[in-house]
Amino acid sequence: MANKWGMVVDIDRCIGCQACVIACQSENNVPINTEGLYNQRRAIQWMRVERYWDGEFPDVKARFIPIMCQHCADAPCEPVCPVFATYHNEEGMNVQVYNRCIGTRFCANNCPYHVRFFNFWEPEWPDSLKNQLNPDVTVRSRGIMEKCSFCVQRIRRATRGDREVEDGDRALNPACVNACPTDALTFGNLNDENSKARRMMDEELADDGRGYHLFDKLGTNPNVVYLKKVEEGAKEGAHA
């Protein structure tokens, strides 16, 4: 059976350290987010850590959640793309073909998770910094959409020539997963019943588990599963 890739994100482990964010930027040739890009609200973070406030001093909470493309099985971003620049591959991933994208930004509007990022400008690096760019990953020009690819180039490299990969192989794992110091992120083949990610999903999506899909009522059927944050005395979320 073909592979089907998925991820489990344990919010109770995540400390909001941003290692995943920078690892992703490094692996995937994400343009440098200059001060201007932040001010224009055009910074690109395929992986981002959101921070939500709850309450006021001294009974205040700041909670974090890392969010990347959910690789929805029923991805709303896909049907609206007029040129099939974003489509589903056989491995359950939502892929983005930069060459084909014409930059309608339709997909970005229709992604409920806001994980699609548009290159409003041509990315720029000083010449010497270009030495660091990953040769396996396209440098996107302006006018096109980009987003988390589950580090498809790493999967391709690890499975090159029908090579068998072990679950949790660091060559296969996305950059963010390898970086995450708390092991909040677990990546694996969901078609492999013994993979850690699959086992976690089976276990945690069961009735008393902590698993949930982000905005599950939208029916996007993501391949990313979140595990609830544990807080003493917390009431279950509205949709739990």
Partner 1 sequence: MGLTRRQFMALFGGTAVSAVAFQACGIPEHEMLIQSPLEMPEDMVTGLDNWYATICGQCSSQEGIVVRVVEGRAKKVEGNPDYPVNHGKHSARCEAALQALYHPDRIAGPMVRYGERGEGKWDEIGWVDGITRLAAQLEALPSGRRGNVVVLTNPEDAHLGHVIGRFAEEFGAQRLTYETLESTNLRAALRYAFGDDFMPEFDIANSEMILSFGADFLNTWGSPVRYAKAYGEFRQGDRSRGKLVHVDSRLSLTAANADEWVYVEPGMEGLLARSIAAVLIEEGSAAPGAANSVTGGDPDGFLSKFSPDQVSSQLGHVTAQKIRDIAHDFASHQPGIAIGGGSAGAHTNGYSNLAAVYALNALAGSVGVEGGVMRNPAPFMARPASAERASFGRLRRLVDDMRAGRVDALLVRGVDPMYSLPESLGFREASYNVPLIVSFSEMLDDTANMADLVLPQNSPLEDWGSSVPDPGTGVSLVGFQQPVVRPYFEPRGLQLGTKNFGDVLMALAKSLDMDLGLEGETFKDVLQASARSIWESNRGSVGTTPASSFADFRAFWNAALMHGFWQDDSGAGGGGTSSLGPLPEHTEPSASGPSGAGTFDLVPFASSALGDGRGAHLPWLQAMTDTITTTAWQTWAEINLAVADEMDIKEGDVLRLSSGFGEILALAYPHPGVAPGAVCVPMGQGHAAYGRYAEGRGSNVLDALALATDVETGALAWAATRVQVRKTGDWVRLPKFENTKPDLAVDEHHDVIRLTS
Partner 2 sequence: MQEHVQLDQRTINDELLNGVLGFRSWWMPALGISVLVFLAGAAAFGYMLNKGVGVTGLNRPVFWGFFMVNFVFWIGISHAGIMISAILRLNHAEWRRPVTRAAEVLTVFSLTAALMAAPLVHVGRPWRADLWVFPYDFARGVWINIRSPFIWDPSAVMTYLTASTLFVIIALLPDLAIIRDRTTGWVNKVYSVLCLGWRGTPRQWKLQAIAGILLSALVLPVFVSVHSIVSWDFAVQIGVEGWHSTIFAPYFIIGAIHSGVAAVATVMVLMIWGFKWQNYLGPDHLDAIGRLLIVVGVTWFFFFFLEWIFALYTLEAPDIALRELQVFQWPWSGLFILFLITAFFFPVGAWLFKSVRRNLWLMFITTVSVNVGMWLERFLIIVPGLMRRQHMVFDWGSYHPSMIEILMVSATFAWVVMGMILFSKVFPLIPLFDVKEAMVFRDETKIGRRTVPATIRE
For binding to partner 2 (CB under 8 A), which residues are involved?
40-42, 50-52, 76-77, 79-84, 100-106, 108-114, 117-122, 142-145, 215, 218-220
19 belongs to the binding site for ligand SF4 (CB under 6 A): yes
* CB 8, CB 186: distance < 8 Å: yes
- Count of beta carbons in the 10 Å neighbourhood of residue 209: 15
Distance CA 173, CA 209 (A): 25
- Cis previous bond, 58, omega within 30: yes
Other residues' Cβ atoms within 10 Å of the Cβ of residue 211: 18
Select from 55-63, 72-80, 102-110, 187-195 the region that touches partner 1 (CB under 8 A): 55-63
Q: Which does 188 bind (CB under 5 to 8 A by kind): partner 2, ligand SF4, partner 1, none?
A: none
* The one among 75, 148, 184, 225 contacting partner 1 by CB under 8 A: 184
Of ligand SF4, partner 1, partner 2, none, which one does residue 161 interact with (CB within 5 to 8 Å by kind)?
none
Using CA atoms, how far apart are residues 184 and 224, in angstroms rounded to an integer? 12
Q: How many Å apart are CA 154 and CA 161, to the nearest integer?
A: 13
CA angle 196/197/202 to nearest 5° reads 100
For tokens 């548009």, the residue is 118
CA–CA separation, 197 and 188 (whole Å): 5
The stretch among 24-32, 73-81, 102-110, 188-196 that binds partner 1 (CB under 8 A) is: 24-32
Q: Which stretch binds partner 1 (CB under 8 A): 73-81, 102-110, 171-179, 191-199?
A: 171-179
AA letter at 87: Y
Site size for ligand SF4 (CB under 6 A): 56
Strand partners, 225: 8
Residues 92-131 contacting ligand SF4, CB under 6 A: 94, 101-107, 111, 113, 115-116
- Told to check if 47 binds ligand SF4 by CB under 6 A, we report yes
- Residue 72 binding: pick among partner 1, ligand SF4, partner 2, none (C-beta 5-8 Å cut-off by kind): ligand SF4
Choose the one of partner 2, ligand SF4, partner 1, none that binds residue 147, judging by a C-beta under 5 to 8 angstroms depending on kind: ligand SF4
Residue tagged 């996007």 (tokens): 220
Q: Taking the CA atoms of 78, 184, 2 and 206 in sequence, report the sign of the dihedral they define.
A: negative
Residues in contact with ligand SF4 by the rule CB under 6 A: 14-20, 23-24, 27-28, 46-47, 49, 66, 68-72, 75-77, 80-81, 83, 85-86, 94, 101-107, 111, 113, 115-116, 144-145, 147-151, 174-176, 179-180, 182, 184-185, 220
